[in-house]
Structure 1
Amino acid sequence: MAYKRQAGKSTREMANQRRKSVLQIAIIGIGILIVLTLFASNTKAFGGIGILIFLVLMGVLRNFFEGQIDRAAKQAKQALRGAKAEEKIGELLEQLPNDEYYVLHDVKSPIRKYRPHCY
């Protein structure tokens, strides 16, 4: 007999949240770069050294946001892979005899947010 929650459900929710954070980081990064570009459109105010500083700042910000996006995307991919593994384990556990085992999936735990399976 299985508990109402599906195996891997909370991990899929985590993967979706991480995908949303990738989009948020990208939107913030693009917004900052656009604002800096618009601000720098008046190149007369900057002069030669100002333009150099601006270009270096743009490169640093681009690298920073690319790193953040790559890290968040990797975490989302790992969570999705974990959810698929939890679902496979859940399917295997469901094959256990019902009279000997009671399988619970995605159980809230005081130690960790969710425990994938209990039996």
Structure 2
Amino acid sequence: MKSRDSEPSGARGSSLLSRITLYSPAEVAKALRCSEWWVKEQARKRRIPFTWLGGSYQFTEEHVVEIIRVFEKTPASMTPAPSAARRVPQQRKALPAGSALLVARVPRRAQRAGEPGS
């Protein structure tokens, strides 16, 4: 019985390989305008997608698109930043019985600056 596909299996594989382009870390770095070291470091830490072939990192076009998506930053909402908004002072919690509020000491430089004869 003949298979539906009349191409030999080797021909099918070669057409698939002709459509896949692999890029080196240097090529990806140039396209992303970053260093080759950064690309390799992100791959080593598994923060970006990659293919490991022949003992080196390789990247497809889909990998590069995903890298851009991973590091994409969206604009913050239009609400004012917390520092710009008026802050309401918080009340201090009551201290447990037998404990005291800690107060920072005056630094020695400040102590010496206030001494007479300095």
Which structure is higher in helix share? Answer: 1
TM-score for both structures, normalised by structure 1: 0.25
Structure possessing the higher relative contact order (Cα contacts under 8 Å, 6 or more residues apart): 1
TM-score for both structures, normalised by structure 2: 0.25
Computing the radius of gyration over CA atoms, which structure comes out larger, 1 or 2?
A: 2
